[in-house]
Every structure is written in C-alpha cells, then in structure tokens.
Amino acid sequence: MNWRRTKAVALKEIRHIYRDPLSLAMALAIPVIMLLLFGYALTLDVDRIPTLVYDTDNSPASREVVELFRASRYFEVLGRPRSYAEIEDQINRSQCLLGVVIPSDFSTDLDAGDKGQVQLLLDGSDSNTASIALGYADALLQLHSLTLQTRWFNRQGGQEFKAPIDARMRVWYNSELKSKNYIVPGLIGVILMIIAALLTSLTIAREWEMGTMEQLLSTPLRPAELVLGKMAAFFVIGFIDTVVAVAVGVFIFGVPLRGSALLLIATVTVFLFGVLCWGILISAATRSQLKAYQLGMLTSFLPAFLLSGFVYDIENMPAIIRLITHIVPARYLVTLLKGIFLKGIGLEILFTEFVLLVAYAAVIFLIATRILGRKVA
C-alpha cells in the first residue's frame, strides 16, 4: 500500500468534483431536500380523523357521546348527517373516514341498565389508518362506558365505585409518541445509503467510458489504492451530508440526540466506508455509467427503504424476507441510529450491530479490490 499514490488518486477525484459544481451542489443539497420532504410528508401519526356523527336519538346521553368526539384531538367532526346514505356518499368521496351512528333507543337502553350500542362505520380501503382510527374510537367509548358505570353505581346509593385496575402508563424514549422521532433517525440512514452508493457507482465506469482507465492501468497503482483514492473525496461529501442531516433532524424536527456523538461519528464512518466501497464495486463490475446508476439505485433505495426496519417492522415480515434483511447494511445502521438518538444507549447493547457493520465494510472492500484487480488484469 503506497499512500502517496492513494493521495494522488484522491486529489484527482477532488479536481473532478471541483470542476463540476452543479453535481457537487446536488450531492450536498439532495439529502437535505429528501430529509425535509420525507420528514414532513411521511408520518405515522393519525389524528384529526374526518368523522361524521349520525345521532338518531338526540338525547342528552347521545349528545354527550357526540361531544366526546368533538373534544378529542384525534377526531374532527365534519357534520351531522341525516341518513346512512350521506355517510356512505362522503366515504365514497374520501371526505370521511369514520361514521358514528347512535341508534334511537340509545338513551332508553342506558336508563334501563342495558348496554347502549354505538355503530362505527370505517373506510377500510386504507387498512392501517382504519385500524388506528378504530382503536382510538373504541378506547374513547370504553372510557365513556366506565364513566357511565361509575355514575350508575353512585346513583344506587352504594359505595364509591372504583375501577378494578388502575393503569399508570409511562412511555419511555418517545414520551409524546411523535412519529417523527421514530422516522427521522431511520430516514437519515436510508438517505445516506442512497447518496453514498450513487456517489461512487459512476466513478470507475466513467473512467472506462472516457478512455482514461487505460492510463491508470499503465501506472503502478494497485486496486486497493485506487479504491481508497476514489472513495476519499466522496467520503468527505458523505460525511458533510451526515452532519447536515443530523443538524436538520435535531434542530428542525426536534429529534433528541441522547447518545454519544463519538459513537454516532464512528457508526457513520464505518457505514459510509462500506457503502462507498459498494458503489465502487458496482462501477467496476458494470463498466457502464447507465448500468451502474440503475444497479446502484436498485441495490440501495429499495433494500434500505423496505428491509431496514425504517418504517416496516422486520419481525412482522415472512421468514425468508427476515433472512434477507441480514445482508442489508441499512438494517444495522437504522438500529444503531435509533438506539443512539432515542434511547441513548451505547456499544454495551449495540455491539453486535456495530461489529456486523464493520464486517460488511471489510468484506465489500475486499470484494471491490478483488473485482477491480481482475478488471485491471
């Protein structure tokens, strides 16, 4: 390994980047733009659910149920329809997600000591949102049911009614249950995976297409020196992207950074090294900028977005898919970032993920140099 030759290749790449300011600006701006777009647009929070309440009883008891939905921040009562047809029409137009129907005998049943029934009509075309909305509505009605039971028991002249279980809830690490705190750290990992792979996926292929690779072959440059030299300039860009993305996450989205900044730097350094080597590997294997770009996007964006645990829970995936996720480096980075950002934990818990990330970087570097060595030969 000759560091002088490696430095020469790195300086050559820096000059290429310096002479193409538009590409440099895009490489620095795209991560921020993606983070802002995804951070604001991609949310798992479900609130202000468009709701219609069809009250056919119109009694004090039924109006109290209506006010429960009006007062809740999870529901936005849009109106009071006069028939089922109006609810169906609004659901078909995607202007209403939930219809609440209170039957005409609601208060009569309550006065008789029976259960008052409330019908919930949901638009199930978005099954995830519908399930969450159903859970909110059911919890709201169950709490009101307990309140009614307490009133009825107290009116009988007995002792004060006490619920058999008093649940005291405490949420750790994300006490406000904001989805941005969960999404943004994983989103940083996904963006770094995409940008880093695309930055270097065109480098070797460009040399072949421009005819300058033959000049490099005539030098005593070794494959490892070529890989490290090509990667060095893009590593600086990737690290700047990381710093900017973390700053946006912390200061704009308000995501807490509870863990060690040094561990965060070490994690990102190892990940960037491995992913940049992956881009060079693709570039060396394809020799075509178009093919390298397409393969780089295919092997970075889709696995990072779908198989990293960024949004979709890996434990709920089929067994064969869970097995495939073990070769996706973004999976380990997302786990590390969420642990560092939200939980403030260190290598005593995240050691396995960190070691696997180091192993990935080392293996990809060796494969890239081996493939490049065969191409040189």
Superfamily of segment(s) 49-155? abc type-2 transporter like domain (3.40.1710.10)
Domain ranges across the chain? 3-43+178-376, 49-155
pLDDT at residue 163, as a whole number: 55
Q: With contact defined as beta carbons under 8 Å apart, do 244 and 31 qualify?
A: yes
pLDDT at residue 279, as a whole number: 85
Those residues with Cβ within 8 angstroms of residue 152's Cβ, 6 or more apart along the chain or in another chain: 113
Quick one: which of 237, 228, 227, 234 has its CA closest to 204? 227
pLDDT at residue 376, as a whole number: 47
- Spatial separation of the C-alpha atoms in residues 276 and 242, rounded to whole Å: 14
Which pair of tokens denotes residue 172? 């750790």
Per-residue confidence in pLDDT tens, the chain, 377 aa: 677 777 777 787 777 777 777 777 777 787 888 888 877 777 766 778 899 999 998 888 889 889 989 988 889 999 889 889 999 899 888 889 999 999 888 888 877 777 788 899 998 887 778 888 888 898 888 888 877 777 766 666 655 555 555 566 677 777 777 778 888 888 888 888 887 777 777 777 777 777 666 666 667 778 788 788 878 888 888 888 888 889 988 898 888 889 899 999 999 999 999 988 888 888 878 877 788 888 888 888 888 888 888 877 888 888 899 999 999 999 999 999 989 998 889 899 999 999 999 999 999 999 988 887 655 44
> Would you list the DSSP string of 166-180?
-------S-TT--HH
pLDDT at residue 377, as a whole number: 47
- Spatial separation of the C-alpha atoms in residues 338 and 182, rounded to whole Å: 7
Distance from the first to the final alpha carbon of the chain: 18
pLDDT at residue 164, as a whole number: 57
- Spatial separation of the C-alpha atoms in residues 222 and 208, rounded to whole Å: 17
Rounded to two decimals, the pTM is 0.76
